[in-house]
Structure 1
Amino acid sequence: MLEVDIASKTYPAVGGPPLLAIEGLRFSVPDGTFACLVGPSGCGKTTCLRILLGLERDFDGRTVLPGGNPRIGVAFQEPRLLPWRTVEENVRLALPKAMRARPLHDLFARLGLDGFENFYPGALSLGLARRAALARAFAVEPGLLLLDEPFVSLDEATAQDLRALLLDVWQARPTTALMVTHNLREAAQLADRIIVLSQRPGQVRGEHLIAVDRTRRTPEAVNAICAEVSARFPGLL
């Protein structure tokens, strides 16, 4: 399983004391589970993902990735597509050399990108660019999927469509997933478990396991999950 045990992560500051971003952040995510990290701004959620990606190496603690050295699919807050490459070229760039020739039509069709493979990012709406970023994350057939608020700044209708597409692709091949979000309703809709972080320095306040099957997560059921989480963790919203 995915294991995170970050004793501390500190950022240096110019002209002031160092910033302690994380202290005693410990949790695990079982294989094939979709987990969401929820907490206030600045509590270390994105820093945690950066540590898992190996982008932040100066920290005290340890992490264990599922399978030891899995392929990692990642989608950031911004799509980060190369503007001089087409949608398909952007997705294929993320593939290991041995997978570069694999067919992608089914994945593109599932994400609503059929017909947009040869478009450049500048011709895409933000919603389509986010779909391309998800396609890039899933194309590698990841053993670990990391998502950093991939639907932030979208209007709710577009975000809702993309959540449904994300679940559709993920459920076709469930993999260990960890998603950062400020949106409790989003977490209640997507996750098997919600990991709630404290104010900075970030540590785990607790976890909430969601027993409601995703096929029964109606708007009313999602409201009930949010109410239960909010009652357990006062001040979360």
Structure 2
Amino acid sequence: MQHAGAAAPLKVDIAEKTFRSAEGVTIDALRGLSFEVRQGEFACLFGPSGCGKTTTLRILLGLDQAFYGSYQLPKGGSNRIAAVFQEPVLLPWRTVEQNVRLALPSGTRDMDLDGLFDILGLSSMRSLYPSELSLGLARRAALARAFATEPAILLLDEPFASLDERTADKLRRLLMTVWSTRPTTALMVTHNLREALLLADRVIVLSPRPAHVRGIFDVDVPRQARHVQALDDLVSDFRTKFPDAG
């Protein structure tokens, strides 16, 4: 069930989530998963593949209601939830700009998006169709669509997976730029430790399945100072605290 309120911007308390495999075996996905994300914070869920990170996002998006527990979503402003997935999920018969504007409430679809398109490097591509975009550009369009709604919370499910490292790193930094200009509470799933340490204020470390929180790693280095050596030092500090995580 979902509980709404103002006690915490995002509060997750999932007692149990199970599902049946194709062979009919009951699998414990989440058990005793509890954490909070503060207002305006960028947090990452980090853990081994298959531990339940995406399942957690699906619950928060209301796509999976077969669980025991509760969660509380942020309130205030638009009260909207935006999500960015591994696939851009753009309508192929709509242009980039049309895809972005379709996500807006009907009364705001003529709002000025010039600044957003400019930050994401899409100003000259607004009239292109998804088939004319590289995967990296399509993912920029997906980010534009999410931020255009000015959401109360942004959920991201490994949005840079399957990209080459150069393209992925450029998109991570674009994400930070647009998030800094349009701040919102954000929760991102990743199994890439350096990505988590580059982007997040805090990294929420999950155990293997059934997932619960092993601990929290606070990233106390300012984002503008997270260059290669600083990230190396953060990785070392993280591995000292969580030697077998991920």
Q: What TM-score, normalized to structure 1?
A: 0.97
Alignment of 1:225-236 (within 5 A): 225-236=234-245
Tell me which of 13, 16, 30 is aligned to 1:5: 13
Tell me which of 112, 116, 132 is aligned to 2:125: 116
Higher mean alpha-carbon deviation, 222-231 vs 22-31, is at 222-231
1:92 CA displacement: 1.0
1:115 CA displacement: 1.0
Deviations 1:149-204 (A, max 9, x none): 00011111111111111000101121100000111000110000000000000110
Deviations 1:127-147 (A, max 9, x none): 100000000110000110100
Matched AA of 2:52: G
1:16 CA displacement: 2.8
Distance in 2 (CA, whole Å) between partners of 1:85 and 1:162 is: 23
Distance in 2 (CA, whole Å) between partners of 1:84 and 1:53 is: 26
2:155 pairs with 1:155:
no
2:201 pairs with 1:188:
no
Deviations 1:200-219 (A, max 9, x none): 00110000111111111111
Higher mean alpha-carbon deviation, 104-113 vs 9-18, is at 9-18
Alignment of 1:200-215 (within 5 A): 200-215=209-224
Tell me which of 28, 32, 41 is aligned to 2:49: 41
| Coordinate RMSD, CA, aligned | 1.2
1:235 CA displacement: 1.5
Matched AA of 2:62: G
Identity among equivalent positions (%) equals: 59
Alignment of 1:22-101 (within 5 A): 22-67=30-75, 70-101=79-110
Q: What TM-score, normalized to structure 2?
A: 0.94
Give structure 1 stretches of 5+ with no counterpart.
none
Distance in 1 (CA, whole Å) between partners of 2:242 and 2:24 is: 32
Distance in 1 (CA, whole Å) between partners of 2:28 and 2:239 is: 26
1:98 CA displacement: 2.2
Distance in 1 (CA, whole Å) between partners of 2:22 and 2:200 is: 39
Distance in 2 (CA, whole Å) between partners of 1:25 and 1:219 is: 32
Contact 2:147 2:182 in 1 (8 A): no
Tell me which of 109, 128, 131 is aligned to 2:140: 131
2:222 pairs with 1:216:
no
